[in-house]
Structure 1
């Protein structure tokens, strides 16, 4: 029997509809869970009462799991609320948890086996089973819907930082990471989603991995903070034709924040130097895209220049699709 060494960082905001089921699925992982840290972002529904009642039930049952609630007026937002939660975690491994999903039996045992076998592993993500609001399976998994192939997983294993510069492959609801990652990762930038930021920081320091097995039921309902859209032709065309200004500005801002953080992180060694160069080049690429002219016909020279250098292949999440985006999206 493995010792309890996992802190669960669970963030809530008006999650009364699903929080009981999620907490029960976490507690059902057994003795591997040492504590559940619930960070609430100002819920106005029944969430806080339900969380407190669950904590009291753990105490009365003699469970070794400690539930700690961080409440308050709220207004943190998803990223900063997760920063609060993970900062309060006290154990060797931290598992991230959304309020509306459901952990599958044996989830932690499976993921902890990977950490025990791989001392250099800093962050482990996995697949998830998509379910509807009632918990009924939708017949697909998260990685299938995001079109994550075996080649993509191999690229992540061989070059985690370069792969994640192109596109995020990590979903926070499936993540377990070593607490040793926090000194580099904190504070989380508001402009980044917490799971993407943690994955990038893990790729700087050590290994990350992506399990093919689903470890949670990833609930899709009308109020998801971050949902999943199927890769239909209509959705792909919609991405190509949506206005480009705000998206490209955000990509440039995020890339600049990453490059600045790594430049100031005191990293040394050839691997870290290569990571810093790649981050700076990614920032320059996204800035060039954001600065393309509003008129479509005037974008062509800039897009062709970035295409010739190979930057779309190295740094764009969708490759050829992003070339088309930059040429045809309205301003």
Structure 2
């Protein structure tokens, strides 16, 4: 491997699966040059297990990557903890790593090869095979659960990723590799955004994002997942559309405004992306300010729909018209 690669592994009470994940990282056909472990205040044996696994690996092979171990006495939360791990990573390329998954043996080898083949790439994410608590495949994939369409995939491959990501995030950080200069450009990460979503949309705005359909991660789904993929069942969709609005729309408006502000004036983002981000911010602000009275929502929602805003800017497209018309306040 000619390019130094760091692995940014974040942990929090991950004793159940951490040995399996760390073993899969250390067993890569092309190993990382650095391992950064950022623990967010674990109260179980996570850190002791990490140290034991590293000692055992060195005893067995005579080698370990450079190890940086960060311990947060006060938990930072998922986004800030990953930002800390990423900023401590010195490799040109950084693979994001969750504590409870398992990697395919050639994951780093293949991700680095994809970066080598795409000059200027900043963020690469892949599909993942879903596994259960015991590591057995469930038959599903991350792209399947997230309903990543062929249209979405082709848009990303053809340089139109921002038009996809401005509607919704389709990247899962546990599958991703990022260029270190993208991390620097994105910091500090806003609290309103999850780390992988922020990195992905910033890369998309700079035409530096791509995806691979090859599943290089075995993504474990279990009850304790801090952030995970949900089931796209009909019942789930109906509950999501007809559930109370709560703070969701205000959060979407805040996130969209933060994004637009971050892109304005960026020398490596063209004006069309800034304009689309501003349009998204205005759209989500209008949605957040819709009246509580459903009857009074009718005209502003139909005005947005008539202008074609929903299929271009809303995560669920035309389904969000139904959501905005009928969701209780």
| TM-score range for the pair, normalised by the shorter chain length | over 0.9
1:156 and 1:164 in contact (8 A); partners too: no
User: Could you say which residue in structure 1 is the equivalent of 2:71?
Assistant: 71
Give yes or no for the alignment of 1:155 onto 2:162: no
Q: Secondary structure at the match of 1:100?
A: coil
Partner residue, 1:213 = 214
In 2, Cα distance between equivalents of 1:219 and 1:137:
9
> Match of 2:36?
37
Q: Is the 8 A contact 1:3 1:31 kept in 2?
A: no
1:17 to partner: Cα distance: 0.4
Q: SS of 1:33's equivalent?
A: coil
1:267 deviation in Å? Answer: 2.0
Q: 4+ runs of 1 displaced by more than 6 Å?
A: none
Deviation of 1:274 (Å): 1.4
1:17-96 matches, within 5 Å, as: 17-60=16-59, 61-96=61-96
CA contact (8 A) 1:43 1:74 kept: no
The structural deviation recorded for 1:64 is 4.1
SS at 1:32 equivalent:
coil
Query: Are the aligned partners of 1:4 and 1:32 in contact in 2 as well (CA < 8 Å)?
Result: no
- Matched residue SS, 1:201: helix
- RMSD value over aligned CA atoms? 1.4
CA distance in 1, matches of 2:227, 2:257: 23
**Distance across 2 between alignment mates of 1:205 and 1:299:** 36
Deviations 1:239-295 (A, max 9, x none): 1111113111111111111111122xx4237x5211111111111100000000111
Contact persistence 2:252–2:284 (CA under 8 A): yes
- CA drift of 1:39 comes to 0.3
Deviations 1:9-64 (A, max 9, x none): 01000000000000000011144311110000000001111112223334434214
8 Å Cα contact 2:3-2:92 kept in structure 1: no
Distance, in Å, in 2 between the alignment partners of 1:327 and 1:196 is: 27
Task: Give deviations 1:127-180, integer Å, cap 9, x for gaps.
Answer: 001111111111111111211122110112331112100110110000001111
Normalising by structure 1, report the TM-score: 0.95
Distance 1:319 1:204 in 2: 21
Q: How does 1:251-270 map to 2 (within 5 A)?
A: 251-263=252-264, 266-268=265-267
2: CA distance, partners of 1:57 / 1:179: 30
Matched-pair contact (CA < 8 Å) for 1:41–1:77? yes
Alignment counterpart, residue 288 of structure 2, candidates 287, 290, 306? 290
Structure 2 distance, partners of 1:155, 1:169, is 12
100-109 or 87-96, larger mean C-alpha shift: 100-109
Shift of 1:296: 1.1
Q: How far off its partner does 1:310 sit? A: 1.4
Q: How many residues align?
A: 327
Is contact 2:127–2:142 with CA below 8 Å preserved after alignment?
Answer: yes
Contact 1:4/1:31, CA 8 A, preserved across alignment:
no
Mapped partners of 1:194, 1:139: distance in 2: 28
Q: Quick check: 2:29–2:105 contact (8 Å CA) kept in 1?
A: no
Post-superposition offset of 1:4: 5.9
What does residue range 180-329 of structure 1 map to in structure 2 within 5 Å?
Answer: 180-263=181-264, 266-268=265-267, 272-329=270-327
How far apart, in 2, do the equivalents of 1:146 and 1:73 lie? 34
Within 1, Cα distance between the matches of 2:86 and 2:72? 16
CA distance in 1, matches of 2:258, 2:266: 16
Q: TM-score, normalised by structure 2?
A: 0.96
